């Protein structure tokens, strides 16, 4: 094939990571399809499941075209479809929103660095489907009265310019109220920490005693701590603290997923959490708000490293594409 263009390191990296996430999602959505009861939510879950299957097949085609070893990712061995109901219908609907926003964010990053036509087309469709899922899940959450709105603030009466450096203050002196973009960052991370809290709680509940269960317990405690800190940041400004989504975890103790999948999923959430906090830091003008987000990010980073070590220790961490080792 004289006109064949090899995959770049960037294209390999994004395809490989997306394959890992999509095979994991496929397992989770397959299980959800067995336990969901609400007809509307079931139809949306089936659409997401079909989309995930299509994404996996398209990536396999690209890998085969380039003689790229198809990653193992996650398979039927990582899901127990007949396990009892661990999650409620509202949680399953919220998960659709979570997948939509996660795929949209990741696909948008990927598509900026891709040159090859087939890979670009894949991520173009990937982000388009993610946006559609985000919109459908948002509308359904609103229709069912489950959507949680951010705090309201009054609109400004006129355009003004900052006149004092105290605008940056956060600890001492003349402090200004939170800006809208800072409230948005606090609210978004408050909501995303809720999904982390629910998942670590459910994973702790279905695992047996040992270091993996201890790891999930620690994650539950960290996410709960972060929810409290973020809530206090809003309360300090006398802003309404939104009630987060219902935890959505039942009392089932039968694991629907392998420990490998559960541990990888939490590592995946840690990476997303770091990205979320990084964006929040860049959007924070008040020094104390930026410092708070930096501390939260450092805690997530340390927790994430523990998870990676557990994956490696158990032989569950698949090696990503890497540059050739330097010969010295």
Q: What is the pTM of this model?
A: 0.91
Distance, in Å, from the CA atom of 187 to the CA atom of 70, rounded to the nearest integer, reads: 39
For range 227-251, the mean pLDDT:
85
Phi-psi region of 150 (alpha: psi -120 to 50; beta: other; left: phi over 0): beta
- The rounded mean pLDDT for the chain is 92
Give residue-wise pLDDT tens across range 144-200. 999 988 889 889 899 888 776 555 554 445 677 889 999 999 999 999 999 999 999
Multiple choice CATH, 9-143, 1.10.3720.10, 3.40.50.2300, 1.20.1260.10, 3.40.50.10300: 1.20.1260.10
Phi-psi region of 158 (alpha: psi -120 to 50; beta: other; left: phi over 0): beta
Give residue-wise pLDDT tens across range 19-34. 999 999 999 999 999 9
| Ranges for all domains in the chain classified under CATH 1.20.1260.10 | 9-143, 168-313
Task: Spell out the CATH class of 168-313.
Answer: mainly alpha
């Amino acid at each position: 094939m004289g006109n064949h263009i090899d995959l770049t390191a960037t294209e390999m990296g994004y395809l490989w990571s997306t394959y890992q996430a999509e095979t994991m999602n496929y397992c989770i959505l397959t299980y959800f399809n067995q336990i969901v009861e609400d007809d509307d939510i079931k139809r949306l879950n089936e659409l997401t499941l079909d989309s995930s299957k299509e994404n996996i097949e398209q990536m396999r085609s690209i890998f085969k075209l380039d003689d790229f070893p198809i990653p193992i990712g996650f398979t039927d061995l990582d899901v127990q479809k007949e396990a009892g109901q661990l999650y409620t219908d509202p949680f399953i609907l919220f998960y659709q929103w979570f997948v939509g926003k996660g795929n949209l964010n990741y696909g948008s990053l990927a598509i900026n660095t891709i040159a090859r036509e087939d890979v670009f087309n894949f991520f173009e469709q990937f982000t388009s489907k993610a946006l559609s899922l985000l919109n459908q899940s948002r509308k359904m959450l609103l229709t069912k009265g489950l959507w949680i709105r951010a705090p309201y603030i009054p609109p400004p009466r006129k355009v003004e310019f900052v006149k004092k450096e105290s605008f940056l203050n956060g600890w001492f002196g003349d402090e200004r109220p939170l800006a809208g973009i800072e409230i948005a960052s606090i609210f978004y991370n408050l909501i995303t920490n809720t999904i982390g809290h629910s998942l670590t709680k459910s994973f702790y509940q279905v695992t047996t005693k040992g270091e993996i269960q201890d790891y999930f317990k620690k994650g539950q405690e960290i996410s709960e701590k972060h929810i409290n800190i973020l809530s206090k940041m809003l309360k300090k400004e006398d802003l309404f603290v939104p009630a987060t989504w219902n935890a959505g975890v039942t009392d089932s103790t039968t694991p629907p997923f392998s420990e490998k999948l559960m541990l990888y999923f939490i590592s995946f959430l840690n990476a997303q959490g770091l990205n979320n906090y990084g964006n929040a830091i860049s959007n924070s003008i008040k020094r104390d708000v930026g410092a708070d987000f930096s501390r939260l990010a450092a805690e997530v980073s340390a927790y994430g490293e523990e998870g990676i070590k557990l994956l490696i220790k158990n032989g569950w961490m698949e090696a990503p594409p890497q540059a050739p080792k330097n010969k010295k």
